Amino acid sequence: DDVVQYLYTTLSSIPGILLIAASVLLFQVYIDLNPDFFSVGLQKADARFLALCFILGVTSWSSLCRLIRAETLKISQLGYVQAAHAFGVSHRRILTRHILPNVASALIVQLSLRFPQIIGLETSLSFLGLGIQPPLADWGGMVKENKDGLIYGKSAALLPAMAIAALSISVNLVADWILTRTSSLKGG
């Protein structure tokens, strides 16, 4: 617990966008210094994509971890959990029967809120040239290619933005459906 708390406190103290940009640039230097590993351009693009996914995952878990830890500590002090401990119920059973079901709704809400932020961050990084690179396609690259169209009144750059909005709305609707479905199961 102390190690995880130290890790997410340290990670939260570093500005996220700077950490992500520095990590992406460091990985790009690694790719440039090791051309034997990435002989084909597509291998470089794939490696950079996987590195970006890893970096976004590492930098975005701290707030979620802090919330889940706080909820778990709160729930572990409730009477029915204390009673389960007193009756000798195993820690695994307490986690699966009492803690996880009560933390799941907070987890779903946080994931549905964080998902559009991560997509926006990746799109912004790609627009700036730090994200996914050709030959792989992504929404930030599409906006970058069509940015002149915005100046001249063409709407090609708006299509990726509309796709991002549609995906974000879809994720939020699915999360709302899951939350209403699970809350109706708990109540009934």
pLDDT of the residue at 136? 78
Least confident of 117-121, 140-144, 180-184: 180-184
Whether 46 contacts 136, CB under 8 Å: yes
Q: Write the pLDDT tens digit of every residue in 80-94.
A: 999 999 999 999 999
For the chain, percent of residues with pLDDT exceeding 70: 90
pLDDT of the residue at 92? 93
Q: What is the dihedral of CA 100, 103, 109, 111, to 10 degrees?
A: -50
Mean pLDDT of the chain: 83
pLDDT of residue 187 exceeding 70: no
pLDDT of the residue at 185? 57
- Global confidence as pTM: 0.73
pLDDT of residue 62 exceeding 70: yes
pLDDT of residue 133 exceeding 80: no
The DSSP call for residue 113 is H
Whether 98 contacts 75, CB under 8 Å: yes
Mean pLDDT across the stretch 97-112?
Answer: 89
Distance CA 102, CA 174 (A): 19
